[in-house]
Chain A
C-alpha cells in the first residue's frame, strides 16, 4: 500500500478529505471561482511536486502546475464522476509534462536544492543528518529512469494506488507493479547504507 505522507507532505490525507469533496468539485464545475481556488489550494502541492520531479525544472513545474489547473477548470464539465477528480488532475499534469519534457527528465538533482537542505526551524547535528539523508533520497529518486521515477512519485509521494496509476499511464496494473519492483530494487541499492542492518 502507498504510504500517505502527513507532516512532511503538508497533509496528503487532509488533501484527500477536502480536495475530493463532491459538492466543492460540483461548484468549481459551475464556474465558482472561490471553489476553484479552494481546490487549487488542496492540490497545488501534490501537482507541483509531481511535475517538479518529472520536469526537474522548478520554473517549468510552476508553469505546468498553472496550466494543469487552467485545463482542468476549462474541461471540468466533461468530468462525469467527482470521485475521479484527483486521478483526472494527475492525468492532465502527466499529459502536459510528457508533451513538454519528452524523455528529458533524467537530469540529476541539484545538490544545493533547498528542498533537500536542513529544516530552517530545526537545529544541530540531527538536522544536518536528516538533510543529508533527504539529499541522498532525492538524488536516488532523480537518478531513476523517467518511467520508474514516475511510478515512484505517483505511488510513494502522491499516494496513488497501483490501479489508479495504471489507468493514468494507460498500462496494465502488472506493468506498474513491475516498474515499482525494479525502482524499489534500484533505490535499495543506491540507499544501501541507510536501509541495511549494520
Chain B
C-alpha cells in the first residue's frame, strides 16, 4: 500500500472500519507523513469532542407543556365539531326532498310558470303571437 491509497482510508480507520486494516497499519508503521496525518485527524476528533455546548434557554419545558395542553384541549372540540358535521350530513341525505316538476318546454313553460301569476300581462299578450295564434 502506498500513501495515495492510504490517505483516503484514514477517516474510516478512525471510525474503526476493518477494511484492509492490517495493510494500512503496516503502511503507517513505515510512513511518517501518513502517521502524522492520522495523528492530525485524531486531534480534530479530540477538538470536536471538547467543543463547548450551549445551555438551552430556560422556560422551554413550560412552552412544551403549554403546547401539549393546548392541543389536548383542542381535541375534544374537534371531536364535537366532527360529530356535528357528520350529523348534519346524515340529516341532509335523509331529509325528504320535494318532487321535481315535470319538464316543460317553450310556451308550455310560460303557461305553467308565468301565466298563473301574470295573467294577461305582457307575456300573456306576446305568447299567443309567438305561437302563431290570432290575438
B2 at the interface (CB under 8 A from A): no
In contact, A196 and B40 (Cβ under 8 angstroms): yes
A127 smallest CB distance to B (angstroms): 12
In contact, B60 and A65 (Cβ under 8 angstroms): yes
In contact, A3 and B12 (Cβ under 8 angstroms): no
B28-60 vs A, Cβ < 8 Å mask (1 yes, 0 no) = 000000001001110111111111111111001
Return the contact of A8 from the options B11, B53, B64, B65 (Cβ within 8 A).
B53
Complex alpha-carbon distance, A16 and B112, angstroms: 84
Which 9 A-B pairs rank lowest in CB-CB distance, beginning with the nearest?
A181-B11, A3-B49, A48-B56, A156-B48, A195-B43, A115-B54, A195-B40, A66-B63, A70-B67
In contact, A49 and B53 (Cβ under 8 angstroms): yes
Chain B residue at minimum C-beta to C-beta distance from A138: B51
Complex alpha-carbon distance, A74 and B67, angstroms: 10
Complex alpha-carbon distance, A116 and B52, angstroms: 7
Number of A-B contacts (CB under 8 A): 122
In contact, A48 and B11 (Cβ under 8 angstroms): no
Complex alpha-carbon distance, A156 and B57, angstroms: 23
In contact, B71 and A74 (Cβ under 8 angstroms): yes
In contact, A157 and B44 (Cβ under 8 angstroms): no
Complex alpha-carbon distance, A196 and B41, angstroms: 9
B18 smallest CB distance to A (angstroms): 13
Interface residues in chain B, defined as those with a beta carbon under 8 Å from any beta carbon in chain A: 8, 10-12, 14-17, 36, 39-41, 43-57, 60-61, 63-65, 67-68, 71
- Chain A contributes a number of interface residues (CB within 8 A of B) equal to 49
A5 at the interface (CB under 8 A from B): yes
A116-129 vs B, Cβ < 8 Å mask (1 yes, 0 no) = 10000000000000
In contact, A66 and B60 (Cβ under 8 angstroms): yes
Return the contact of B49 from the options A5, A65, A116, A197 (Cβ within 8 A).
A5
Main secondary structure of the interface of B (DSSP, over half): helix
A172 smallest CB distance to B (angstroms): 14
Complex alpha-carbon distance, A156 and B14, angstroms: 12
A188 at the interface (CB under 8 A from B): yes
In contact, B65 and A33 (Cβ under 8 angstroms): yes
Stretch at the interface among A37-45, A86-94, A99-107: A37-45
In contact, B54 and A137 (Cβ under 8 angstroms): no
10 more contacts with CB within 8 A, not counting A67-B67, A197-B40, are A8-B49, A49-B53, A52-B54, A133-B47, A141-B48, A177-B11, A180-B15, A184-B14, A197-B36, A197-B39
In contact, A137 and B53 (Cβ under 8 angstroms): no
A69-95 vs B, Cβ < 8 Å mask (1 yes, 0 no) = 110011000000000000000000000
Return the contact of A134 from the options B44, B52, B64, B68 (Cβ within 8 A).
B52
CB neighbours of A156 from chain B (8 A): 45, 48-49, 51
A1 at the interface (CB under 8 A from B): yes
Chain A residue at minimum C-beta to C-beta distance from B45: A3
